[in-house]
Amino acid sequence: MSGMQENLKDSLSNLMSAIQAAKIYKIEHPKFEDFIDRAYKSLQEMLRDRIELIIGMVEGELSIEHDIFFDLSQKLRPLITYLHKNQIERIVFHRDFKREELINFISFLIAPQKERGRDVEESLLLMGIKNIKAGKIKAMEMEALSPESGEKAMDFLEKYENSLKIVDKYTDTLLNEEKLDSLELRFNVVNFLENLLGMYQEFLDLTDVKRKDLTTFIHLLNVTVLSMYISSKIGFSKDEVLDLGIAALFHDIGKLHISRELLQKKGKLKIKEFSILKHHTDLGAEILLKYADALGPLPAVVAFEHHLRYDLKGYPKLPFSRNPHPVSLLISQCDVYDALAQRRPYKRSYSPLKIYEIMMKGEGKSFDPKLLYEFFRIIGVWPVKTIVRLSDGRIAIVREQNENDIFNPKVEVISPEEKREFMDLAERKGSIKIENSLDPYKEGKKYLHLADSEEEISFH
Ligand SMILES: [Fe+2]
Ligand SMILES: [Fe+2]
């Protein structure tokens, strides 16, 4: 690696760490100060023999002056993705830039997008940042650099696939016993939280469509999103939601280890092999304990406890009884819900009502009663986007839950089409109810195109 490349790598990794630290800690935190100092110093170093340092991000690759650094791009992926998401394709540091400006620039970067002006360049000036510029690469420059570049909005599918890649990467890290950058992991999970929170239904849609790809990864990601969503709704702090998300992400990591071995065997899983599979709990805990310094003890606790059940009648068998950690109970509840909601090659998925009934039977046994009620209060019996038949024969789609009346959500009637309307079933006092839900693969299929309404939904 050339000297300049080395310097650039240092500068940008320090910048990335400073952004990550700023997202996780407060700006006054010593960790943040430390990264800022380092980033500032290395950027200054690079500006010793130039007036401006122009860093570009084109099509996911990093460029400086006229070189594109594929090598570095790989290492700095989180930074590039983050800047891309924030519509920043270019950062220019002027030789006179001050440490203060760098701090302000980072505060700007981590502020929620809606809180800042539309024009990045203008906003920076307003914040008194004169010597750092950032924004889009002008169309012409862009064309010159990459012939078929177009504005590609990061759509949901892309986000989902990126998240899967992240899950893949971290599970690999752990399985191969490589070093884990916990700051980077937290940063990525923060981004999960911001992007995907509340999108569990969309997740289910995608995993159903892409049924062939159903793997432990998808399950891990689903359980993570669902449990982060539920926990944030029941009042966990952002930090707690993050810790829980990381624990959820790894709850079945032991399974991956085992199934890798089992997969190499020919033929179907035998009962004996299933009992081996049960060891994914202690095996997972063992793997995660090695990372306790980086991740804290919670992921190991959850991996160990997530099949224990509320009444401790699950596995593994404990030599003495103790209550499972509340986070284990929450994650295991989401785990079961996701397992029931997924279509698997060997079973059909259950209807939402059936899932509700199955899970309610586990009240006080598999599940903590209080947590179980909270869960359905939030997600409803028929989750948002379920296609249902109403008692008057019309077809509707669930749009929003009523937390006090989980059987009567707010719906949009979609068929017959000329009678499209929004309706709060809770206000109908039972005169119109949900009769049943329609399987989106069978009778519900023909209504699917009506379900994606472009209209703004508003309830009062
Ligand atoms: Fe499990
Ligand atoms: Fe699981």
251 CA to centre of ligand 2 in angstroms = 6
The residue among 22, 8, 199 whose CA lies nearest residue 106 is 22
- The C-alpha atoms of residue 21 and residue 183 are separated, in whole angstroms, by 8
168 CA to centre of ligand 1 in angstroms = 17
Half-sphere exposure of 341 (CA within 13 A, CB side): 28
279 CA to centre of ligand 1 in angstroms = 9
Q: Which of 151-160, 213-222, 310-319, 420-429 has the lowest mean pLDDT?
A: 151-160
Find the ligand nearest to 218 CA.
2
Coil, strand, or helix at residue 234?
A: coil
Task: Report residue 244's pLDDT band, with 50, 70 and 90 as the boundaries.
Answer: very high
The alpha carbons of the chain give a radius of gyration, in whole angstroms, of: 25
203 CA to centre of ligand 1 in angstroms = 19
Task: Report residue 358's pLDDT band, with 50, 70 and 90 as the boundaries.
Answer: very high
Mean pLDDT of 409-419: 89
Token digits of residue 330: 């929450």
Find the ligand nearest to 223 CA.
2
Give the model's pLDDT for residue 395: 94
Give the model's pLDDT for residue 388: 94
Give the model's pLDDT for residue 337: 92
Tokens 């599918």 sit on residue: 157
Task: Specify the length of the chain in residues.
Answer: 460
385 CA to centre of ligand 2 in angstroms = 24
Mean pLDDT of 269-280: 81
Question: Residue 193 above 80 pLDDT?
Answer: no
With vertex at residue 288, the alpha carbon angle to CA 293 and CA 168, rounded to the nearest 5 degrees, is 110
* Residue, of 175 and 376, whose pLDDT is higher: 376
458 CA to centre of ligand 1 in angstroms = 39
Give the model's pLDDT for residue 422: 93
Which residues, in sequence order, are bridge partners of residue 67?
64
pTM above threshold 0.85? no
Burial class, 324, CB count within 10 angstroms (exposed 0-12 / middle 13-18 / buried 19+): buried
Give the model's pLDDT for residue 190: 65
- The C-alpha atoms of residue 414 and residue 404 are separated, in whole angstroms, by 25
Mean pLDDT of 310-336: 93
Question: Residue 234 above 70 pLDDT?
Answer: yes
- The C-alpha atoms of residue 119 and residue 68 are separated, in whole angstroms, by 26
Question: Residue 19 above 70 pLDDT?
Answer: yes
Return mean pLDDT, the chain. 79
- The C-alpha atoms of residue 403 and residue 332 are separated, in whole angstroms, by 22
In this predicted model, what pLDDT tens digit does every residue of 202-217 receive, in sequence order?
Answer: 555 544 444 334 456 6
**Taking the mean position of all CA atoms in its chain, how far away is CA 423?**
31
Question: Residue 232 above 60 pLDDT?
Answer: yes
Give the model's pLDDT for residue 396: 94
Residue 83 has a CB neighbour count (10 Å cut-off) of 22
255 CA to centre of ligand 1 in angstroms = 7
Give the model's pLDDT for residue 394: 94
- The C-alpha atoms of residue 154 and residue 80 are separated, in whole angstroms, by 14
Give the model's pLDDT for residue 375: 96
In CATH, the number for domain 156-379 is: 1.10.3210.10
8 Å CB contact between 303 and 290 = no
8 Å CB contact between 244 and 228 = yes
Q: Which of 47-56, 204-213, 272-281 has the lowest mean pLDDT?
A: 204-213
Q: Which of 97-111, 159-173, 409-423 has the lowest mean pLDDT?
A: 159-173
Tell me where in the chain the CATH 1.10.3210.10 domain(s) lie: 156-379
Long-range contacts from 203-210, C-beta under 8 angstroms, 24+ separation: 203/160, 204/341, 204/342, 205/385, 206/156, 206/157, 206/160, 207/342, 208/342, 208/343, 208/349, 208/440, 208/441
Give the model's pLDDT for residue 204: 53
